[in-house]
A = this chain, B = another copy of it.
Amino acid sequence: MNDRLVVIGGGAAGMSAASAARRVNAQLDIVVVEAGAHAAYGLCGLPYYLADVIADSDELFAYSPEFFRDKRRIDVKFNTEVTALDAERKVLDLRQDDRTYQLAYDSLVFATGGAPIIPPPLAVDSDRIFTIRRLDDATRLHRLLDDRRVKRALIVGGGYIGLETAEALAARGVEVIVAEALPMVLPNFDAPVGELVHAELLRHGVDVRLGCRVESARDDGSHLQITTNGGAIEVDLMIAAVGVRAGSSVASQAGAECGPAQALVVDDHMRTSLPSVYAAGDCIAPHHLILNRPAFIPLGPAANKTGRVAGTNAAGGDAAFPGIVGTAVVKVFDLAVARTGLTLAEAEAEGIPAIATQAVGKTRAKYYPGTDPVTVRLIHRPDGRLLGAQMVGAGDGVAKRIDVAAIALQAGFDIDALLGADLSYAPPYAPVYEPILLAAQAASLRRPA
């Protein structure tokens, strides 16, 4: 009999793991256990499906179940929940509908993802409260929007998903309120960046309420009646977008070591502390290259990569994941907002001496049509060593520029090395002094000789 690899979770990490395992080992028996009815869809696309930017939710699927079954010989068990793990006996307890059974494995990958956090005041019984994480919920919300039954919505949380959803609902003609408990939107950026994003939200008619905490929610049969520290709000529906928690409970109950945010701790081969048990994606806290410790920053690219590494190793291959630097980009109406590494606030919270240098460059030669400003904020140590970067500006001209900083960060560049970087130039695409070089130059001039 062949060895069996079981992957728990059919999301990006899980399907990457299963596919990588198949590449390594043609004989392996590969089973994916998925709690929901779908696998391998791009959950980051849900806001764009809601906005009708994507016509059909089917487009969100990377591959069909048939593709996995027939082409990759991966057996995906849908609507099946893992209730317990016996890591010593290498057996999982599963439940599908009312049926419970056991499944033995030789190697196991946890790719259980993250679950949206519902703040306690929002944990009420109402079909007017949504999260943007599962296709089923998004489909139900989409139907409400199609029926023009949503006039006014409250989004709780001004992070990535909150703001993407604000844009989506605004595009569907909904009056949107964003309530953020912290004193800025995108609170994982530095304040000057948050202010630019705040202005963009206001420009598009979003009602942004900072320092606003929801205290209670009640479904009166026709609306949601919300109370906050800033007064009462009546809306047709509410979106909880305050983040996700790692789906680590089965693994941690079986004894797997957990780190920040209760996410699973893994080594660079995605091994958990349990024998033959790997983990990947939004349920882990991978190594952060700048913090030099595990960090819980659940994002798509690391899910795919750690999935591939976990699957490769679980199938007997050899792959390593170097770690993350926390690179991310989000579209907020006409702005692209991006970050990598640490913010100044994060560096300060870690006790790392840091300086922020901000400069405004342009996306093209100043004389070329369609030139837009780009704000670049570099975070660096007093000796010049790069710690992070943030960028804000219009669309395509900005989004991928953050990757330059991400690579420089990963390579351990200082400000002078960045300043010397040989970056591309042509008037239609860049000014001769790239915005990031302009910021590096400003940082270099500030440093003591």
- Interchain CB contact under 8 A, B330 and A53: no
- What residues on B are CB-neighbors of A60 within 8 Å? 367
Nearest B residue to A321 via CB reads B420
- With known contacts A367-B42, A420-B305, A422-B406, A400–B430 Cβ distance under 8 A: yes
Cβ–Cβ contact B399 & A421, under 8 A: no
Instruction: Give 6 nearest A-B pairs by CB, closest first.
Output: A411-B411, A399-B429, A59-B367, A396-B396, A329-B424, A322-B420
User: Do the beta carbons of A403 and B424 come within 8 Å of each other?
Assistant: yes
Contact assessment for A421 and B427 in the assembled complex, using a CB-CB cutoff below 8 Å: no
The residue that A403 contacts in the complex, of B12, B59, B367, B404, with Cβ under 8 A, is B404
Q: Is A68 an interface residue (CB 8 A)?
A: no
A399 touches B424 (CB 8 A): yes
CB closest residue in chain B, given A54:
B367
Q: Are B422 and A410 in contact (CB under 8 A)?
A: yes
Question: Given A403-B404, A408-B407, A424-B329, is A44 in contact with B338 using a C-beta cutoff of 8 Å?
Answer: no
The CA of A299 and the CA of B426, in the complex, are separated in Å by: 10
Once the chains bind, are B48 and A422 in contact (CB under 8 Å)? no
A85 cross-chain contacts in B, Cβ below 8 A: none
Quick check: is A14 within 8 A (CB to CB) of the other chain?
no
Number of A residues with CB within 8 Å of any CB on chain B: 74
Residue A67 interfacial (CB < 8 Å) = no
Contact of A428 among B299, B331, B369 (CB under 8 A): B331
Residues on B with C-beta less than 8 A from A406 are 404, 421-424
On whether the beta carbons of B432 and A329 are closer than 8 Å, the reply is no
**Bound: A370/B432 CA distance, A:** 27
- Choice from B301, B323, B336, B433 contacting A425 with Cβ under 8 Å: B301
> Copy number in this complex?
2
- A263 within 8 A of partner (CB): no
Instruction: Report how far A349 CA is from B44 CA in the complex, Å.
Output: 45
Residues of B within 8 A of A427 (CB): 42, 44-45, 48
Q: Does A300 belong to the interface (CB within 8 Å)?
A: yes
Q: Is A304 an interface residue (CB 8 A)?
A: yes
> How many angstroms between the C-alpha atoms of A433 and B304 in the bound complex?
8
Q: Which of A21-50 contact B (CB under 8 A)?
A: 23, 42, 44-45, 48
The winner among A336, A363, A399 for most chain B CB atoms within 10 A is: A399
A247 close to chain B: CB less than 8 A: no
CB contact under 8 A between A369 and B422, given known A44-B432, A304-B432, A432-B44:
no
Check A53/B368 contact, CB under 8 A, given A44-B427, A404-B404, A426-B44: yes
Which single residue of chain B is at the shortest CB-CB distance from A47?
B427
In-complex Cβ contact of A423 among B289, B403, B426 (8 A)? B403
In the complex, what's the smallest C-beta–C-beta distance from A359 to chain B, in angstroms? 16
Q: Within the complex, which residue of B44, B340, B365, B425 is in contact with A329, where a contact is CB–CB below 8 Å?
A: B425
